[in-house]
């Protein structure tokens, strides 16, 4: 049996407010191998905060704690931001639940995917475009070229 890709044990996300502490995520545990993971739940149930916590993208004043938060055996809470940037986007990513609010409405979809790819790979614009089209095909987007040229809305 191969080692888990992602191990999450006792994940908690808290925000201190003027009226007290808000617990956005309380004691989440899951393990992911090579499969894809979809987290489903009601609005406000902590799906986005769980993903943000794993990626270390919880905004202040949020505090993330976990008994274990490891990707490929590396403790994500212990590595520095430079090392985390090497993991985030290249090795691990999150697809937001409502992409129309995650994408810039005045930039074409393909440009945004290509820009993100170039940020993490230092590819040329032409290579980033080609890879973005491949990515759109990989997730079974019909007519990737049309979607690449479309605006999110």
Whether residue 1 lies inside any domain: the answer is: no
HSE-CB for 109 with a 13 A CA cutoff: 19
Whether the Cβ atoms of residue 83 and residue 89 lie closer than 8 Å to each other: no
Counting the structural domains of the chain, the total is 2
**Residue range 76-94, pLDDT digits in tens:** 999 999 999 888 877 888 7
- Whether 52 and 72 share a structural domain: yes
Residues 91 and 118 in one domain: no
Q: pLDDT at position 1, please?
A: 61
Say if residue 112 is in the same domain as residue 85.
no
The residues, any chain, with a CB within 8 Å of residue 76's CB and separated by 6 or more, are 54, 56, 69, 70, 84, 87
Q: Taking residues 53-67, what's their average pLDDT? A: 95
CA 35/CA 153 separation, integer angstroms: 30
Q: Using H for helix, E for strand and C for coil, what is the string for 73-94?
A: CEECCCCCHHHHHHHECCCECC
């Amino acid at each position: 049996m191969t080692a888990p890709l992602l191990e999450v044990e006792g994940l908690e996300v808290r925000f201190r407010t003027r009226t007290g502490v808000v617990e956005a995520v309380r004691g989440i545990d899951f393990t992911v191998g090579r499969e894809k993971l979809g987290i489903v739940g009601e609005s406000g149930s902590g799906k986005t905060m769980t993903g943000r916590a794993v990626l270390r993208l919880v905004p202040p004043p949020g505090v993330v704690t976990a008994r274990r938060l490891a990707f490929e055996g590396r403790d994500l809470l212990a590595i520095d931001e430079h090392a985390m940037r090497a993991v985030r986007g290249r090795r691990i990513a999150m697809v937001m639940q409502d992409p129309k609010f995650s994408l810039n409405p005045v930039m074409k979809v393909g440009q945004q995917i290509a820009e993100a790819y170039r940020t993490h790979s230092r590819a040329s614009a032409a290579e980033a475009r080609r890879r973005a089209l491949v990515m759109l095909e990989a997730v079974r987007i019909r007519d990737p070229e049309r979607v690449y040229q479309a605006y999110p809305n």
